[in-house]
Structure 1
Amino acid sequence: MKQTLWLLALASLGACTVGPDFKRPHPELPESWQASVRPGTSLAASADAEWWQQLGDPQLSSLVQRAAKANFDVRIASNRLEQSRVIRQVTGSQQFPGISTGGSYQRERSSSVGLLDASNMNGKAPYELWMATVDASWEVDLWGRVRRNVEAADADIELTQAQRDGVLLSIAAETASDYISLRGIQAKLEVAKQNLDIAQQNSELTKNRFDNGVTTNLDTANSAAQVATIEAILPVLQAQQFSLINALSYLLGERPQALRAELREPKSIPHPAPDVPLGLPSELAQRRPDIQQSEAALHRATAAIGAAKADFYPRVSLGASLGSQALNGSDLGTWNSRQWSYGPSLYLPIFQGGRLTGTLELRERQQQEAALNYQRVVLGAWHEVDNAITNYAAEQQHHASLEEAVRQNSLALGTARNRYNQGAIDFINVLDVQRALLATQSDLVDSATQVALDRVRLYRALGGSWPKK
């Protein structure tokens, strides 16, 4: 009875846990974003989990969702998350008693001149030995060493979950960016083809005027050179188009050009919804996977300090064994064949050559590093959001100015062609206006592409998340 009470009292000491408890950090962030967006837009409460829907392109949404399932980086990150859960299961098993059973059969003969003869036959004949046992052992977690290891394993699950969320966000953003760039290249191809048609019409016009003796071959050479210059652009743009289709195919885990038939037909550049999902700065720590990851790493490092401190204290394990042993198989399991044992075992570190103190100092340094890294990541996220807001607003203004430039250059080209037909200006003036139109049209396409890309970067900077499963 006294032994049982002593063991219960010993087990009750397991409530003690050494080392610092983790306290969730409160990052320093502004009270509100200094947002400067184009007039006419509104600020949404926060980025939707399915933020790509805000780009208003069903085909893009389909590609993002397919990439989330088929992309190899996502699948690898998901596998690592499952690995961390298995590690947590293995680590958590230390909190419970370990029970095992076994049995053995041996036929042997003892020495007649040896120290021990279990058969009592003085080594004159062989004998059989039958055994069956059930063993149990449990470490009494007096100082929380096991609990701290479990806590670290839980933090590691949070870390790998954040890593997986980060990969999902990156793949979604990369898929959206490649798709937007593809539609931008296709739009530039259409602009080049339209300008090629105009250049060919100009070339026919100068040939007719040359044949009628109205102009010189300088105009025909200039117009032919303009046609060749525009034609030279087309294969470069086509190569970029197919490279982007390949990039999207890779993101979806497909072979090269697997999406060619699906994406070759030109479509308009995705146009973002007018709502800008900035949300509150305080949400950033809960939304951005890199901040969540660094917080989990800090939690894991803090728990590791407790485990290192617990190594300085004694470890007590409780063990028990119940079994049966007999020289005849028919006696195995009878009351007289029973054997049992139970009792505690003690491990006390006395001299470890500085291993324990070194390990503790290492864990404390690692925790300091994790804390500094958390601050660095938060500050970097703040900068990234601020830059994304600024770039998005600036590109919107740039796009509006280019729209006006294209409109004016289109009017100027029509006027120049009419005046050339009337003989009022030289053809070189027509070429100059057409070059200006082609340049501003190409810039406008680039700007429309950049507006959509900057919106994706803004979603990514704000931690545009993924629906939690």
Structure 2
Amino acid sequence: MNYTFFLGTLAAVICCGNMGGCSVGPDFQSPAFDAPKSWSQTAIGRGDGRPTTQSVEPDWWLIYRDPVLNKLEQMVANANLDIKAAAHRLGQSRASRQVAAASQFPSINSNSSYARERASPNGVLGLLGTLEQEMPGQIANGAQGFGPAKLPGAAGAPFNLFQYGIDASWEVDLWGHVRRQVEGADADYAAMADLMRDVYITLFAETAHDYIQLRSIQAQIVLTKQNIEIARHGLDLTRMRFTQGATTNLDVANASAQLATIEAYLPVLEREECHLVNALSFLVDAEPRALSAMLGPKRKIPVVPPKIPMGVPAELAERRPDIRMATERLHAAVANIGVAVAEFYPRITLSGSLDIQALTFSGLGTWASRQYGIGPTVSIPIFQGGRLRGQLELRTEQQKEAAVLYRRAVLNAWHEIDNAMIDYHVAETRRAKLAEAAKQNEIALTASQTQYTQGSSDFLNVLTAQNRLLSTRSQLLQASADTAIAVAELYKALGGGWEQHLPAAHPVTAQASEKPQEQSAPLKTALQ
């Protein structure tokens, strides 16, 4: 028989069957994403027209027009430890995908060996008829044996055995068992990339939050120092009037207590300033107070523009990493059902080996020393005790859970956006009212001081007006910070900020299959 022709024909038949084989199990279809036509349907009580449908800028923090914040965000993208850890998790997922994809190709191994052996004449050698020539009368009952070849040397004598060769095996993926595994691994890789995108979004928003809060605390420190000077001026005025006999020691004591109370608030603010500087230093992988020189100079609280670009609701499914990740995990769960279904079908593995074996080293170069074996192995599941059916049921329930979690991710996104828009609306409204209140309190304080100087009013009115002004100014600063922070939280809810650091498109199956090892430049930096 022409073995070469036979093996070639068999391989061609199996290859054709593999190429034309079907993938059992359900095919994944992206779930429908029902988005409202406009943001007005998601914001309760809105109507001022501040949200616009302009596209969300990838670097959304640029709307604050603060160069220090811009530099901080870039430092976080390049140095943050959470981003580096997420990059390594993405690398692990990529490696797992490579392991799954390896099953699509034949496994080829080479081997070589040398052994000094001795066979027992009372073992299988007793079946060889040639032993009668070496050991007459030793074979019981005159066994005839199987082979005509004569062993070298005396029966049972030690001998050398040299061997080298190759062997190969390949599972013929007729039912898509391997293809579904690779499909699921691709979806897992895409989900891990989306998880890394989510880390970017969270950290960018946290950086903006801490920076804005730092500027608010620094503004509070400046305001407190100004209030201390005002309180000292009031104390000096009260002491002068006491010396002139125009007032009592009670007013002096009240003015002194007012000054001490304001001064006691200053160390608390300075402590908060140090904590926020340390928090920002940690975000950029730096030691405590490493950013003191950069953040120490006082700057104004970042101001938000009157219009907030938000894009359109339909873009949310592609922008928010949690929705994208839920989609990919649903995809992986569907693919795993296909793997479980394929377990019910026969599995065919084609294997073969070619070896050169000789009793002498010089014999390894002769074609007569070859030996080979080739043929398919068919594994048919007949009885598994319910394991396969239980595994299919498990994968089906996991797919149903993934579908529910997708729905939860979408609903959670709408809630977060709606809450963020309301928070921004309330913060902006409160800031405007406090600005008016501060203006009126300044007028009230000036009037009370004038009346006290003229003797037509007591010092209690001055203290009351002063306390109201101090409180209102402090609240106004915090309201301004809350407005800027609410914008950062809004963009976090919208899923913006990662586009410059990871590709916008999902690493689909074809892309992952062709070039799973490629990385974007920021990702390579994070992996270092």
2:247 and 2:400 map into 1 onto residues whose CA distance is 80
Report the counterpart of residue 288 of structure 1 in structure 2.
320
Report the counterpart of residue 76 of structure 1 in structure 2.
85
Q: Select 2:104's aligned residue among 89, 95, 104.
A: 95
Give the C-alpha shift of residue 124 in structure 1.
4.8
Determine if contact 2:169/2:350 at 8 Å carries over to the other structure: yes
Q: Select 1:12's aligned residue among 3, 10, 16.
A: 16
Give the C-alpha shift of residue 390 in structure 1.
1.5
Where 1:112 maps in the other structure, the secondary structure is coil
Determine if contact 2:50/2:306 at 8 Å carries over to the other structure: yes
* Residues 1:306 and 2:338 are matched in the alignment: yes
* Residues 1:415 and 2:456 are matched in the alignment: no
- Cα 1:373–1:42 change in 2 (3 A) is closer
Q: Select 1:107's aligned residue among 87, 109, 116.
A: 116
Report the counterpart of residue 359 of structure 2 in structure 1.
327
CA deviations over 1:188-231 (Å, ceiling 9, x no partner): 11111111110100000000000011111111111111101101
- Cα 1:376–1:40 change in 2 (3 A) is closer
Report the counterpart of residue 290 of structure 2 in structure 1.
258
- Cα 1:291–1:12 change in 2 (3 A) is same
Determine if contact 1:148/1:306 at 8 Å carries over to the other structure: yes
Could you state the TM-score of these two structures normalised by the residue count of structure 2? 0.86
CA deviations over 1:70-129 (Å, ceiling 9, x no partner): 222111110000111111111101001111111001112222222138945443532111
Where 1:317 maps in the other structure, the secondary structure is strand
- Cα 1:128–1:406 change in 2 (3 A) is same
Report the counterpart of residue 51 of structure 1 in structure 2.
60
* Residues 1:153 and 2:190 are matched in the alignment: no
CA deviations over 1:266-319 (Å, ceiling 9, x no partner): 211111233312211111110011111111110110000000000010000111
Q: Select 1:31's aligned residue among 7, 16, 37.
A: 37
Q: Could you tell me which amino acid in structure 2 is paired with residue 255 of structure 1? A: E
Q: Select 1:404's aligned residue among 393, 412, 436.
A: 436
* Residues 1:184 and 2:190 are matched in the alignment: no
Q: Select 1:211's aligned residue among 243, 254, 273.
A: 243
Instruction: Identify which range, 61-70 or 87-96, moves more after superposition.
Output: 61-70
Report the counterpart of residue 164 of structure 2 in structure 1.
132
Instruction: Identify which range, 11-20 or 352-361, moves more after superposition.
Output: 11-20
Where 1:297 maps in the other structure, the secondary structure is helix
Q: Could you tell me which amino acid in structure 1 is paired with residue 478 of structure 2? A: D
Determine if contact 2:108/2:168 at 8 Å carries over to the other structure: yes
Instruction: Identify which range, 382-391 or 259-268, moves more after superposition.
Output: 259-268
Where 2:365 maps in the other structure, the secondary structure is coil
Determine if contact 2:184/2:333 at 8 Å carries over to the other structure: yes
* Residues 1:167 and 2:199 are matched in the alignment: yes
Determine if contact 1:153/1:300 at 8 Å carries over to the other structure: yes
1:355 and 1:235 map into 2 onto residues whose CA distance is 67
Where 1:332 maps in the other structure, the secondary structure is helix
1:16 and 1:6 map into 2 onto residues whose CA distance is 20
Q: Could you tell me which amino acid in structure 2 is paired with residue 10 of structure 1? A: I
Report the counterpart of residue 144 of structure 2 in structure 1.
none
Q: Could you tell me which amino acid in structure 1 is paired with residue 55 of structure 2? A: S
Instruction: Identify which range, 18-27 or 261-270, moves more after superposition.
Output: 261-270
Q: Could you tell me which amino acid in structure 2 is paired with residue 26 of structure 1? A: A
Q: Select 1:239's aligned residue among 271, 275, 287.
A: 271
* Residues 1:387 and 2:419 are matched in the alignment: yes
Determine if contact 1:119/1:127 at 8 Å carries over to the other structure: no
Determine if contact 2:80/2:285 at 8 Å carries over to the other structure: yes
**Percent identity at matched positions?**
47
1:428 and 1:216 map into 2 onto residues whose CA distance is 12
- Which structure 1 residue ranges, 5 or more long, are not aligned? none
Determine if contact 2:51/2:310 at 8 Å carries over to the other structure: no
CA deviations over 1:333-356 (Å, ceiling 9, x no partner): 321112222111111111111110
Give the C-alpha shift of residue 12 in structure 1.
2.5
Q: Could you tell me which amino acid in structure 2 is paired with residue 91 of structure 1? A: A
2:261 and 2:402 map into 1 onto residues whose CA distance is 56
* Residues 1:63 and 2:95 are matched in the alignment: no
Determine if contact 2:177/2:338 at 8 Å carries over to the other structure: yes
Give the C-alpha shift of residue 448 in structure 1.
0.4
- Which structure 2 residue ranges, 5 or more long, are not aligned? 129-149, 503-519, 521-528
Give the C-alpha shift of residue 455 in structure 1.
0.2
Q: Select 2:490's aligned residue among 440, 449, 458.
A: 458
* Residues 1:194 and 2:257 are matched in the alignment: no
Determine if contact 1:308/1:356 at 8 Å carries over to the other structure: yes
2:67 and 2:362 map into 1 onto residues whose CA distance is 76
1:261 and 1:77 map into 2 onto residues whose CA distance is 30
* Residues 1:438 and 2:481 are matched in the alignment: no
Determine if contact 1:288/1:465 at 8 Å carries over to the other structure: no
- Cα 1:220–1:38 change in 2 (3 A) is farther
Instruction: Identify which range, 109-118 or 22-31, moves more after superposition.
Output: 109-118
Where 2:101 maps in the other structure, the secondary structure is helix
Q: Select 1:367's aligned residue among 399, 408, 414.
A: 399
Where 2:495 maps in the other structure, the secondary structure is coil
Q: Could you tell me which amino acid in structure 2 is paired with residue 465 of structure 1? A: G
Give the C-alpha shift of residue 3 in structure 1.
5.7
2:457 and 2:478 map into 1 onto residues whose CA distance is 32
Report the counterpart of residue 508 of structure 2 in structure 1.
none
Q: Could you tell me which amino acid in structure 2 is paired with residue 66 of structure 1? A: M
Give the C-alpha shift of residue 253 in structure 1.
1.6
Q: Could you tell me which amino acid in structure 2 is paired with residue 17 of structure 1? A: S
- Cα 1:390–1:139 change in 2 (3 A) is same
1:369 and 1:124 map into 2 onto residues whose CA distance is 66
2:151 and 2:291 map into 1 onto residues whose CA distance is 79
Where 1:254 maps in the other structure, the secondary structure is coil
Determine if contact 1:44/1:275 at 8 Å carries over to the other structure: no
- Cα 1:264–1:288 change in 2 (3 A) is same
Determine if contact 1:109/1:123 at 8 Å carries over to the other structure: no
CA deviations over 1:146-168 (Å, ceiling 9, x no partner): 00000010001111001100011
Give the C-alpha shift of residue 37 in structure 1.
6.2
Runs of 4+ deviating beyond 6 Å: none
